[in-house]
DNA sequence: CACCAGGCAAGTA
DNA sequence: TACTTGCATGGT
């Protein structure tokens, strides 16, 4: 157990404080957001979610009964709207087929089984599955995203070309298996990444992780 | 104007 | 198996 991971977390938490993720009112809303935010700025997703709320279509039942074209129009600001319409429908079909449309029922299922089930849904890959497991269902998995990879690469903790699960295993091996820790850590990595670890123009000078370079 | 954002699936060789 | 490409809006 390398203390560097714990140290990074403590440094981030000390400097940015608790993030209170996921920004949503219900677990179902978390799931919708997780699908809509694929390769997409959260600001655009927020608009789409706001549209869904305005249309009273932010519960499993109301969203599932929405005509496809209407759904597409509502989520348009999130981009990739044709693909995301299909992905939302695939998830909803899964949710109703396997759990009678109940996210709470879903939650009673074990982590590993659930993860495999989610990955079998077209449009849900490793990151989206883990975001759902952690932030919507409270399961102890670490979410690896582009910022996680970039930050750990820039601090030479990984090479950068490892696959999703290699990075996830490395991190989970070095931390306590704790939902709240995983929740805050990933959120902190994203926030610090947005501010200091962009693809280009990395404004590293004031990054709280400066010393780990 | 170019580039990027809290990915994923399908196609190619 | 290991790359590459399509998907699309809105902000910098």
Q: So where are chain A's domains?
A: 3-20+142-206, 27-136
Closest-approach nucleotide to residue A149, Cα vs C1': B6
pTM for the predicted model, two decimal places: 0.97
CATH code for the structural domain at A27-136: 1.10.340.30
Q: What is the pLDDT of residues A127-182, one digit of tens each?
A: 999 999 999 999 999 999 999 999 999 999 999 999 999 999 999 999 999 999 99
The nucleotide lying nearest A147 (C-alpha to C1') is: B6
Q: Strand B: which of residues 96-115 in chain A lie with Cβ below 7 A?
A: none
Concatenated DSSP letters of chain A: --HHHHHHHHHHHHHH--------SSHHHHHHHHHHTTTS-HHHHHHHHHHHHHTT--SHHHHHTS-HHHHHHHHGGGS-HHHHHHHHHHHHHHHHHHHTT-HHHHHTS-HHHHHHHHHTSTT--HHHHHHIIIIIT----PPP-HHHHHHHHHTTSS-S---HHHHHHHHHHTS---HHHHHHHHHHHHHHHHHH--SSS--GGG-TTGGG-
Å: A57 CA to C2 C1': 41
Q: What is the CATH number of domain A3-20+142-206?
A: 1.10.1670.10
Name the residues contacting strand C (CB < 7 Å): A 39-41, 43-44, 47, 76-77, 79-84
Q: What is the pLDDT of residues A87-118, one digit of tens each?
A: 999 999 999 999 999 999 999 999 999 999 99
A63 touches strand B (CB under 7 A): no
């Amino acid at each position: 157990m390398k203390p560097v991971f714990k140290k990074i977390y403590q440094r981030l938490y000390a400097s940015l404080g608790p993030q209170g993720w996921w920004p949503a009112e219900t677990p179902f809303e978390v799931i919708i957001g997780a699908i809509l935010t694929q390769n997409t700025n959260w600001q655009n997703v927020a608009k789409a979610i706001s549209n869904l709320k305005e249309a009273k279509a932010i519960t499993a039942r109301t969203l599932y009964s929405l005509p496809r074209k209407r759904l597409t129009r509502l989520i348009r600001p999130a981009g990739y709207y044709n693909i995301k319409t299909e992905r939302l429908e695939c998830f909803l079909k899964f949710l109703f087929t396997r759990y009678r449309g109940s996210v709470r029922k879903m939650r009673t299922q074990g982590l590993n089984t659930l993860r495999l089930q989610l990955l079998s849904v077209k449009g849900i890959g490793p990151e989206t599955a883990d975001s759902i497991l952690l932030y919507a269902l409270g399961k102890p998995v670490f979410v690896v995203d582009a910022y996680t990879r970039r930050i750990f690469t820039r601090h030479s903790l990984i090479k950068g070309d490892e696959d999703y699960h290699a990075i996830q295993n490395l991190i989970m091996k070095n931390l306590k298996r704790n939902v709240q820790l995983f929740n805050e850590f990933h959120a902190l990595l994203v926030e610090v990444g947005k501010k200091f670890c962009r693809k280009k123009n990395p404004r590293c000078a004031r990054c709280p992780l400066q010393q780990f370079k």
